[in-house]
Amino acid sequence: MGRGRFVDEDPLTLALAPPAGETPEQRQVREAAEAEAKRRSDEIDEQIKREKDGEKRKKKPVKLLLLGQSESGKTATLKNFQLTYARREWSEERASWRAVIWLNLVRNVNEILDHLNQEMSESSYLPSVAEPQSDASSDELHVVRKSRTLPPLQYNERHRLLKLRLTPLAQVQADLEVKLGAAATEEYRTPVTKAAPFDPPSKRRALPEFSINSSNGWKSAFDKFRTLRAPRSGSEAGVPRPAKDSEDEIGEVLSGCREDIKAIWDDEIVREMLIRRKVRLEDRPGFFLNDIDRVAVPSYQPTDDDVIRARLRTLGVQEYRFVFDHGRTAGQEWRLYDVGGTRSSRAAWYPYFDDADAIIFLAYLAEDNRVNRLEDSYLLWRSVCSCKALARTQLILFLNKCDLLQAKLQRGIRIRDSVPSFGDRKNDLATATKYFQQHFKEMLRQHSPVQRTFFVYLTSVIDTRSTAITLGAVEESILREHLRCADLM
Ligand SMILES: Nc1nc2c(ncn2[C@@H]2O[C@H](COP(=O)(O)OP(=O)(O)OP(=O)(O)O)[C@@H](O)[C@H]2O)c(=O)[nH]1
Ligand SMILES: [Mg+2]
């Protein structure tokens, strides 16, 4: 059969056909060359596919979770990210924090008034030793008991008048709480010893009643506020609105009370009463009493630091999307998940673990007697370390509120009183943070399904300057890992 006939009909077959008169050796060489060429071609195809997948991964948003107990500083860390990398959104939102800061301030004043009411209503002065909100450690309570022997404080007409003139603030607090919603109220219900880590799906309970899953986080609280503030329309237009129904009116009430707030906060007897009751308002989240001249005016505009220091509880899990406007990942989308840290919120965390690049875990170092924070942090950390869904997730630990721990140590508070295992080690910040760091490290070693390194930072995230530096390092390590995974794909 003449091959030429087919060749004439199909030039491709002609090109691929073995040369006429090929010897067996020549054929062997030719076939080996063809196999090698195919292998190289397949390799190139595979590389192109890997690069494409890698590119996709590089373009994929970086997913970062902020975990830790309530008040550990997750939202404050998120705010620092926004402040450092997404200035425009930050500036847009800054004014909305005013209502939260006013609420924080009014709460402080009302707490002083509550204590004063209790003290003044007692016929003969006897300091109370079991205040639920007192910040006293057991040692300090001992001191309070001893204070029974102190001479009674001399409350006078001035205190009665101040109490009377500041009465409107109770209503201001109630109004602001209603307007800002559930996030505006704190939760101190669950007993400490039952610290529940997040539950994996099989054990998950129904979502708590107040959980929300919002893509705009605290904005939902602000929007609610704005809706309530919006002027009425139609038939209601022009009808006078009830007192304190708007943020501006609240500003006016606060401004009217400013001098009395200053007077009560600066009053020596009131200060002494707070000391005897071991109430340290200045260590509490959202403390603005020392900024009263600036804050309690109708034209008040929060500064960056004010916003970081403002306290608004996070509900459920909130997603924030930022395209970083500068830094190593400029243009890269980051998705940060800020979770509510109260125990009842933790059931909602688990679904967000999937595919997370990194977790920043915040441990609240400064103990107080309202919640056994360190123990709770350890339990949570253990759950995070042992969680199989997070085995490939980079872990970054922030030992936070170092400033408060430092202040406590300076006041002579001994760590071993709340952490007996600390023993007789040196009672200073360096020794304490090293000790806690070791403990967290050891837990990771014991409970992680795979051995992995982790990064630890000693932080005070209300300090925006030093936090920006920390976040730069965090950004780099997360990005490096994100790209490494992309290259491995
Ligand atoms: N002094 C001090 N205060 C801090 C620090 N970090 C956070 N805070 C303050 O502590 C309060 C609580 O911080 P948040 O960031 O709201 O705590 P969170 O972890 O988000 O709490 P939840 O939303 O309830 O889970 C806020 O008023 C912060 O400004 C810190 O390092 N030092
Ligand atoms: Mg929060």
Q: What is the residue whose two structure tokens read 């707070």?
A: 274
48 pLDDT higher than 80: yes
| 3-state DSSP of 426-447 | CCCHHHHHHHHHHHHHHHHHHH
Mean pLDDT of 107-123: 90
pLDDT digits (tens, 9 = 90+) for 4-38: 444 456 777 777 777 778 888 988 998 999 999 99
* pTM given for the model: 0.78
Q: pLDDT grade, residue 135 (50/70/90)? A: low
DSSP string covering 330-375: TT-EEEEEEE--SGGGGGGTGGG-TT-SEEEEEEE-S--SSS-HHH
Does ipTM surpass 0.90 in this model?
A: yes
Q: pLDDT grade, residue 58 (50/70/90)? A: low
Regarding predicted confidence, which is higher, 301 or 188? 301
3 state SS of 21 = coil
Residue-level pLDDT at 243: 42
- Our answer on whether the CB atom of 286 is closer than 6 Å to any ligand 1 atom is yes
User: Which ligand approaches the C-alpha of residue 312 most closely?
Assistant: 1
Q: pLDDT grade, residue 57 (50/70/90)? A: low
User: Which ligand approaches the C-alpha of residue 79 most closely?
Assistant: 1
Cα 158 to Cα 298: distance, rounded to the nearest angstrom: 26
Pick from 71, 212, 218 the residue to mutate for probing ligand 1's pocket: most ligand atoms within 8 Å of its CB.
71
**Residue 32: beta bridge partners?**
none
192 pLDDT higher than 80: no
pLDDT, mean over the chain: 81
Judge contact between 458 and 401, C-beta under 8 A. Answer: no
Pick from 212, 461, 464 the residue to mutate for probing ligand 1's pocket: most ligand atoms within 8 Å of its CB.
461
Regarding predicted confidence, which is higher, 328 or 449? 449
Lowest mean pLDDT among 67-71, 218-222, 460-464: 218-222
pLDDT digits (tens, 9 = 90+) for 202-246: 444 433 323 334 445 566 666 655 544 444 443 344 444 444 457
- Our answer on whether the CB atom of 311 is closer than 6 Å to any ligand 1 atom is yes
Listed by start position, the domains of the chain span 61-94+315-488, 98-196+222-232+242-306
Pick from 188, 462, 470 the residue to mutate for probing ligand 1's pocket: most ligand atoms within 8 Å of its CB.
462
Q: Does an H or E element contain 458, and which?
A: strand 454-458
Residue-level pLDDT at 232: 40
Lowest mean pLDDT among 98-107, 291-300, 317-326: 317-326
Cα 89 to Cα 83: distance, rounded to the nearest angstrom: 8
- Our answer on whether the CB atom of 380 is closer than 6 Å to any ligand 1 atom is no
Scored b (16 or more CB within 10 A) or e, 343-379 reads bbbbbbbbebbeebbbbbbbbbbbbbbebbbbebbbb
3 state SS of 219 = helix
Q: What proportion of the chain, given as a percentage, has pLDDT over 70?
A: 77
- Our answer on whether the CB atom of 175 is closer than 6 Å to any ligand 1 atom is no
Domain 61-94+315-488 in this protein, CATH class: alpha beta
Residue-level pLDDT at 213: 40
User: Rounded to the nearest whole angstrom, what is the distance from the C-alpha of residue 312 to the centroid of ligand 1?
Assistant: 9
Q: What is the residue whose two structure tokens read 């107990």?
A: 69
- Our answer on whether the CB atom of 314 is closer than 6 Å to any ligand 1 atom is yes
454 pLDDT higher than 80: yes
* Two structure tokens written together for 72: 């550990």
Q: pLDDT grade, residue 199 (50/70/90)? A: low
CA distances from 445 to 268, 380, 439, 453 (A): 51, 15, 10, 9
310 pLDDT higher than 60: yes
Cα 393 to Cα 391: distance, rounded to the nearest angstrom: 6
132 pLDDT higher than 50: no
- Helix axes of 98-121 and 268-276: crossing angle, nearest 10 degrees: 80
